[in-house]
A and B are shown apart, each in its own frame.
Chain A
Amino acid sequence: MGQLRRALLTPVSEIAWRLPGWPRRLLAEFSLAERGSMVDMLAAAQATPRREMRRKYFLHALDEGRHATIFADRVRALSPGRADRAEAVIEDAGLLQDHGIVGGQTLFERLGELDFLAFVYVAEADAVEQFGVYLDRNLPDAETSASLRAILKDEAFHVSYSRAECERYRKDGKPVDQAIRAVRWRRFKEGWMRFTRDFGEWTSGFWLLVLYFVAVGPFRVLARVETGGWKVVARPGAAGLAAARLEG
């Protein structure tokens, strides 16, 4: 699994980091992902019934917050004064929801303690592998590599503590391997869902655009932008329950 992943990651990274504008974009996405992780880890610190885990989740969250800042600083350093999508991504917390990183239930609430720890272990191990590939190839530049190296030390700690906790659960007879498999399947499924969502958005956007030109255009002659100025309002301000039930 690891070798296959690495074999896939290597050429993809070589291409992705060399496309114009992509280093900023990828680093902005990393920053966003780290911020999302910080939110998830803080929520876990708050919700966990295992009090001894609280500090670990909390320190992990602080690391993720620091990483988000490091990546955001690299985005700005790569092209100072330039305002583009990448800049907007790191500034806009609302995009965390669009990315499905957080929102609705927290990851901890959705998974429970064991699956959450398995998720942390798998995600962090994948990140270590991914960053290792970038570092091997010094991608995208020496300064970013130095930042990645610093981050990698923290990620190694995250892998080690989550693995140790999973092992503790295993000793207690809990189905850790099953949880790890479930997490891997979940990550694959979520990746697929993101793809279907993006693909669906693109396709529905296309068809809505076709409808716009075919169906909306002819009605243009009937529509007017409202004029300004005060308009007297005729409808009553107070209403009974029946009127309040109306959606329009």
Chain B
Amino acid sequence: MPVYILGISALYHDSAAVLLRDGVVVGAAQEERYSRLKHDASLPVRAVQWLLSDAGITASDLDHLVFYEKPLRKFERILATSVATFPRSWGAFPRQMRSWLGDKLWLRSTLCATFGVRPERVLFCEHHLSHAASAFYASPHAEAAVLAVDGVGEWATTTLWRGSGTTLEPIAEVRWPHSLGMLYSTITAHLGFAVNEGEYKVMGMAAYGQPKFRAEVDQLLRWDASGGYALDLDYFSFHWHPTRSGTPALERLLGPPRFPGAPFTPAAFPGDATPEQVADSQRYADVAASAQAQMEEAMLRLVAHAKAAVGTDALCLAGGVALNSVANRRIAKEGPFAHLWVQPAAGDAGGAMGAALWVWHAVLGNPRGPALSRPDLGRITPVDRAREMLTDLGAKFEVVDDPARSAAADLAAGKVIGWVQGGDEWGPRALGHRSILADPRSAETKDHVNARVKYRELFRPFAPAVTVEAADAWFDIPEAAREPVRWMLATADVRPEKRAAIPAVVHVDGSARVQTVDAGASPLFHRLLSEFGALTGVPIVLNTSFNLKGEPMVSCTVDAMASFHRSGLDLLYVDGFRVERPR
């Protein structure tokens, strides 16, 4: 009888579920793709339904269900922080307590009732241990230093582990409210973006600025001789205020915050903005650049400490901060580790995978298996079902024998296409299964896709996907970043002589968040890139997630058709069918 373990992460943001059969990941799904609510935090009921039905089992077949946090320790932290920040925490306290006392505290009972699992089969794994396990056990490394950096779990905000075989030994941790993740989120909020959503926009904005506020942002963070850090809490209110993460002192330090949705018109593309508006935008870009530079150097310090404490050749990274692809590039390029591995779902969703793998290896004592190699671990729509849906929805479509060749020809002809093939990607990046693709050879493509297809901010860059074979000819990829770039988790410089050939995917600083595609992990997407290369001499396409602003990535045929209708896409390729734009 195979052993089934279900990992669950939920109730903060990005809930997800992962199913293991005898220690092998058979499916991984984020609830937002099913509920259609971006960053859905509710218990992943629909994701679990899909995982169980796809595996042909029911809840009674589950040997263990493991939640990615220890809820009582988290409650302790929230209550203790409220007491320690009395009376400033009066605004946050009632809503936090209502949510915990009325619901979250009684998680064991809720999990049993919701998923139909007996209480003795329900397990709990610490938040940062879930992160660390998601990075280490899913990696190909038998020995590694493991670093998890995020906002917060129970008490820990940054943890360092020694991974060896099937054990993860904790070494040290930084505790709440001192948190690099919360520092970056506070700057994100200051720059007018939503916390837990807009952090990557800060990364994009940073490229338009200079780190002119470096001295100011350095006042927010102090380093000690042991390589640990502490926030200057005079500037932060996230640990006691219900909605604001920075204090007035932060505004005095960095200037007035940016309004959400305010136009961003820095010196690089002022448009018809007034000089004052340009100056304001430039200041925000400079704040973003300063915060980004600070984050990169903070990560380099932590990584140096990890090397000194653990001494292995490999580093595994997880936690929301590990999604900072620019910092990952610097870690790979300037850091002391020869190999870097980052969990593709490095944020809280990945905790579901880590918790499940922890049970299999650390609790049940089973040996390591193969590393995570494929991105398409989510829902697949059977071809017959896709055909039925397209027919019923009145789509004008044709069956294409070779979607890769056909799509490559359309891309070369300047079409912008939706590309839905196989299973959903695991993690926040579209890696050629739920992607919008376009020809990267024209500079106008970027503005066109931002403004007319995805309806999002013009400053947002787009990523290139390239065949792994051609990657080095086009990009300067640090040796240690070979694995992260497979998952679009590290940026690389576009080789200067190639930049003019692919202007739509070169960021203003000459970098790109490249994804290298190998034939083993994504055969169809790899062939599309090869076909496009054969037609144009450029084995690269612009690749961005197939979603519209404020919505999660599409998952099934109906979602794809709805986004197709509501966007400016020219064509849709869905599971072997080529769908034309409705008139």
Q: Which residue of A lies closest to B233 (CB)?
A: A225
User: DSSP class of B's interface residues: helix, strand, loop or mixed?
Assistant: mixed
B558's contact among A46, A220, A244, by CB below 8 Å, is which? A46
Q: Once the chains bind, are A237 and B129 in contact (CB under 8 Å)?
A: yes
Per the bound structure, the CA–CA distance linking A219 and B565 in Å amounts to 58
Mask for A185-215, Cβ within 8 A of B = 1, else 0?
A: 0000000000000000100111011001100
Contacts of A46 in B (CB 8 A): 389, 556, 558
Question: What's the minimum C-beta distance from A35 to chain B, rounded to whole angstroms?
Answer: 9
What is the total of A-B residue contacts with beta carbons within 8 Å?
A: 205
Q: Once the chains bind, are A209 and B90 in contact (CB under 8 Å)?
A: yes
Q: Once the chains bind, are A93 and B174 in contact (CB under 8 Å)?
A: no
**What's the tally of chain A residues with a CB closer than 8 Å to chain B?**
66
Q: Once the chains bind, are B83 and A219 in contact (CB under 8 Å)?
A: yes
Per the bound structure, the CA–CA distance linking A209 and B95 in Å amounts to 9
Question: What's the minimum C-beta distance from A72 to chain B, rounded to whole angstroms?
Answer: 9
Query: Interface residue tally of chain B, by bracket?
Result: 35 or more
Q: Once the chains bind, are A217 and B230 in contact (CB under 8 Å)?
A: no
User: DSSP class of A's interface residues: helix, strand, loop or mixed?
Assistant: helix
A133 interface residue per 8 A CB criterion: no
Contacts of B81 in A (CB 8 A): 225
Q: Once the chains bind, are A226 and B155 in contact (CB under 8 Å)?
A: yes
B255 interface residue per 8 A CB criterion: no
Contacts of A28 in B (CB 8 A): none
Interface stretch among A2-10, A76-84, A148-156? A76-84
Per the bound structure, the CA–CA distance linking A209 and B559 in Å amounts to 44
Question: What's the minimum C-beta distance from B295 to chain A, rounded to whole angstroms?
Answer: 16
Contacts of A171 in B (CB 8 A): none
Question: What's the minimum C-beta distance from A37 to chain B, rounded to whole angstroms?
Answer: 12
Per the bound structure, the CA–CA distance linking A120 and B522 in Å amounts to 42
A11 interface residue per 8 A CB criterion: no
Q: Once the chains bind, are B94 and A246 in contact (CB under 8 Å)?
A: no
Per the bound structure, the CA–CA distance linking A81 and B224 in Å amounts to 42
Q: Once the chains bind, are A96 and B120 in contact (CB under 8 Å)?
A: no
Given that A237-B168, A239-B363 are known contacts, is A54 also in contact with B392, CB under 8 Å in the complex? yes
Q: Once the chains bind, are A93 and B37 in contact (CB under 8 Å)?
A: yes
A87's contact among B155, B175, B229, B261, by CB below 8 Å, is which? B261
Q: Once the chains bind, are B41 and A231 in contact (CB under 8 Å)?
A: no
Given that A205-B94, A244-B66 are known contacts, is A229 also in contact with B224, CB under 8 Å in the complex? yes
Q: Once the chains bind, are B37 and A237 in contact (CB under 8 Å)?
A: no
Q: Once the chains bind, are A51 and B388 in contact (CB under 8 Å)?
A: yes
Mask for B492-516, Cβ within 8 A of A = 1, else 0?
A: 0000000000000000000000000
B192 interface residue per 8 A CB criterion: yes
Q: Once the chains bind, are B124 and A247 in contact (CB under 8 Å)?
A: yes
Q: Once the chains bind, are A233 and B172 in contact (CB under 8 Å)?
A: yes
Q: Once the chains bind, are B558 and A62 in contact (CB under 8 Å)?
A: no
Contacts of B107 in A (CB 8 A): 247
Please list the residues of chain B having a beta carbon within 8 angstroms of any beta carbon in chain A.
35-42, 45, 66, 70-73, 75-76, 80-87, 89-90, 93-95, 97-98, 102, 107-108, 120, 122-125, 129, 155, 159-161, 166-178, 192, 194, 222, 224, 226-231, 233, 239, 259-262, 305, 359, 362-363, 388-389, 392-394, 550-551, 556, 558-559, 561-562, 565-566
A46-B556, A208-B93 known; 17 new pairs, CB 8 Å cut-off, are: A45-B393, A82-B259, A88-B260, A94-B38, A96-B37, A97-B40, A104-B45, A209-B90, A212-B86, A213-B87, A216-B83, A225-B81, A225-B85, A230-B305, A231-B175, A238-B362, A239-B363
The 4 A-B residue pairs with the shortest CB-CB distance in the complex, in nearest-first order: A228-B230, A248-B72, A229-B228, A230-B228
